Amino acid sequence: MLPMQEELRRIVKDHCESAVLELQKFPELPDNGQHPQCDELKTFCSKINNSRNKLPSAYSLPAPPDGMGREFLLRSGGRLLVNHSGGLIENSNLRLHRLFGYPQIPGSALKGIARAYANENAEDREQFSRIFGGETKGVSDQQGNIAFLEAVPADKKWLIVVDVLTSHGGVDTKNPVPVFFPAVERGAVFRFQIRKVSRSVSDADLDAASRFLIDALTSNGVGAKTAAGYGWFEVPEGNSNGDAAAPDQFCLDMVGQWGMLGLEDHLEECFEFPPAARKLFVQRMIKDKLSLIRKWRRKNNPRLARLEELAKSCEEVIPE
């Protein structure tokens, strides 16, 4: 390694708080150990996961006003690999925010999978051209009228893990070499947003673009290795019509699905929910956990103060 690179490595190690920047630019592959890449990635994943509590509660832009856009939440049904060929160690990158480390799905990738799905299934070809631009591959005779924003986590429950692929190369006599790479663990909830590029765009085009994107995510997935079960998303439980939930409804559904056993363990999580979901949680606590609330009160449990704070935020009152 050149002297300048060594000096930069020292600066990064001593002063850089971004694990993403550190690993992308200055990965360390120690000679001791059989799989140094795996050890390096495990350290990287630990740093990223430990930094989640320092992140803001909302990563994405606020909901567009006046019907200018749509947003919805989907939960990943498999592990997620995006920007897999973008570098890092042996071309096993993952799209993470350079400073804060949370996973992202680029808007260009979302538009690409939505366009591919629509190209196979859209009946209105004029609408297809309006939404995505030029209809013919490689031709852009007009600009698309819908902007696809990058998708980001809806909460702090995402997790970065080390995954492995061991290719045998079709020959049993060769010693297979495992390849390790970071992935977003299944179960992460992402917030997706699309917007009109101008007020002249019709709601019909906006709704069609939303449907194309949802169907593409739930049918084909996004990112690498989708044929192997990576990158696909699922609609929330209880939505029998197959529609993705708007953020407020998604949180309401989540609170409604929590079992009575251990309901109190979700208290801190609810502070990041919209008022309607917080209100439902407090109402459920009063109905199903009143004896526990009274026990908290007798023993001056600090969780009661947090529950009262949550109740005040949604205009509910905890009974004595």
**pLDDT given at position 64:** 63
Report in angstroms the alpha-carbon separations of 216 from 27, 204, 212: 35, 18, 6
Q: Can you give the chain as a three-state secondary structure string?
A: CCHHHHHHHHHHHHHCCCHHHHHHHCCCCCCCCCCHHHHHHHHHHHHHHHCHHHCCCCCCCCCCCCCCEEEEEEEECCCECCCCCCCCCCCCCCCECCCCCCECECHHHHHHHHHHHHHHHCCCHHHHHHHHCCCCCCCCCCCCCEEECCEEECCCCCCEEEEEEEECCCCCCCCCEEEEEEEECCCCEEEEEEEECCCCCCHHHHHHHHHHHHHHHHHCCCCCCHHHCCCCEECCCCCCCCCCECHHHHHHHHHHHCCCCCHHHHCHHHHHCCHHHHHHHHHHHHHHCHHHHHHHHHCCCHHHHHHHHHHHHCCCCCCC
Instruction: Tell me the average pLDDT across 287-310.
Output: 91
What is the share, in percent, of the chain residues with pLDDT greater than 70?
A: 75
pLDDT band at 86 (very low <50, low <70, confident <90, very high): low
Q: What are the tens digits of pLDDT across the range 3-47?
A: 666 676 666 666 666 777 666 666 665 544 556 667 777 877 888
Contact (Cβ atoms closer than 8 angstroms) between residue 212 and residue 114: yes
What does pLDDT average to over the chain? 80
Cα-trace Rg, the chain: 23
CA distance 299 to 46: 36
Stronger pLDDT, 256 or 28, i.e. the higher one: 256
pLDDT band at 111 (very low <50, low <70, confident <90, very high): very high
Q: What are the tens digits of pLDDT across the range 47-72?
A: 888 887 777 666 666 666 677 888 88
Q: What are the tens digits of pLDDT across the range 188-223?
A: 889 899 999 988 899 999 999 999 999 999 988 998
User: Burial code of 12-26, b = ≥16 C-beta within 10 A, e = fewer?
Assistant: eeeeeebbbebbbeb
The most confident of the ranges 80-94, 95-109, 275-289 is 275-289
- pTM of this prediction? 0.70
What is the share, in percent, of the chain residues with pLDDT greater than 90?
A: 22
**pLDDT given at position 55:** 73
